[in-house]
Structure 1
Amino acid sequence: MTTLTLNLPLQTASRDAGAWAAAVHLLTLWYARARQRSQLAALSDRQLADIGVTREQADREAAKPFWRS
C-alpha cells in the first residue's frame, strides 16, 4: 500500500497569507506617506525653516502621489 500526502492547500494558504501581509504593508506605507505629506504641506514657512526645508521643497514633496517614494 502506498500513502500519498499532499500539502498543497497548506502551502497555498501560506502563500495567500504572505500576499495579504504584503498588501496590508503596502497600504499602510501609502497611508503614512499621504499623511506625512499632508502634514508637511501644513507647516508654516518658519517651521519649515526650523527643519531646513524650503517652501518649494515642501510643496514639491507634498505634490507627489502617495505611491511614489
Structure 2
Amino acid sequence: MQRTVDTSFFAGSLEASPKAQGILSTLSVWQRRVISRHQLARLDARLLADAGITEAQRNAELRKPFWR
C-alpha cells in the first residue's frame, strides 16, 4: 500500500504561505524518491540491463537516504 501526500487538502490554507508550499514540495520529492527506490530494488538483472543500470549503481542508489 502506498501513501501519498494530498496537497489538495491543504490548498486553501497554503495559498498565502510560500513556506508551507515549500515544505509540501519537499515532502513530495522525498516521497517520489522512496517510491522509485522501492521500484528499483524490485528490478531483476534483465530489467536492470535493459535500463542500463549496473548492480553497483543500483546498490549505491538504494543506500542513499530519502533526503538525498
Normalised TM-score (structure 2): 0.74
Q: 1:11-31, CA deviations, whole angstroms, 9 ceiling, x for partnerless residues?
A: xx93xx101000000000000
Helix, strand or coil for the counterpart of 1:67? coil
Q: How many residues align?
A: 54
Percent same amino acid at aligned positions? 39
How far apart are 1:56 and its partner, in Å?
A: 1.4
The CA RMSD over aligned residues, in Å, is 1.4
Q: 1:4-51, CA deviations, whole angstroms, 9 ceiling, x for partnerless residues?
A: xxxxxxxxx93xx10100000000000001110111111001100001
Runs of 5+ in structure 2 lacking a partner?
Answer: 1-14
Measure, in 1, the Cα distance between the counterparts of 2:56 and 2:24.
32
Partner of 1:34: 34
Partner of 1:5: none
Partner of 2:25: 25
Normalised TM-score (structure 1): 0.73
Runs of 5+ in structure 1 lacking a partner?
Answer: 1-12
**Moved segments of 4+, more than 6 Å:** none
Helix, strand or coil for the counterpart of 2:66? coil
